[in-house]
Amino acid sequence: MTGPSPLRALIADDEPIARRRLARALARLGGVELVGEAGDCDQTVGAVRALRPDLLLLDVQMPGGDGFAVVDRLAGALPPVIFVTAHDGYALRAFEAAALDYLTKPVELPRLAAALSRARTWIAASDRAERIAELQATVAALRAAPREAQAPSRDLWVKGRLGHQRILIDSIDYIRAERDYARLVIGSQSHLIPETIAALAERLAAFGFLRIHRSLLVRQAAVRGLGRRRCGGLVARLPDGTELPVGRSHAQRVQRALGVRPAAE
How far from 203 is each of 12, 20, 70, 104, CA to CA, in Å? 19, 20, 21, 14
Is the pTM of the predicted complex or chain greater than 0.75?
Answer: no
25, 107 in Cβ contact below 8 A? yes
* Type of residue found at 164: H
Residue 1 confidence (pLDDT): 46
User: Which architecture characterizes domain 155-257 according to CATH?
Assistant: Beta Barrel (2.40)
Residue 65 confidence (pLDDT): 72
Residue 162 confidence (pLDDT): 64
Residue 265 confidence (pLDDT): 45
Select 7-150's CATH number: 2.40.160.20, 3.40.50.980, 3.40.50.2300, 3.10.450.50: 3.40.50.2300
Residue 264 confidence (pLDDT): 52
Domain boundaries, the chain: 7-150, 155-257
Give the residue among 94, 112, 116 at the shortest CA–CA distance from 103: 112
Residue 154 confidence (pLDDT): 73
pLDDT in tens, 145-198: 544 444 556 777 777 666 667 788 999 999 999 987 899 999 999 998 878 888
Q: Please, where are the H alpha helices in 89-218?
A: 91-98, 109-124, 128-144, 197-204
Pairing of strands 101-104, 81-85: parallel
pLDDT in tens, 148-160: 444 556 777 777 6
Q: Which residues of the chain have pLDDT under 70?
A: 1-3, 87-99, 126-153, 160-164, 262-265
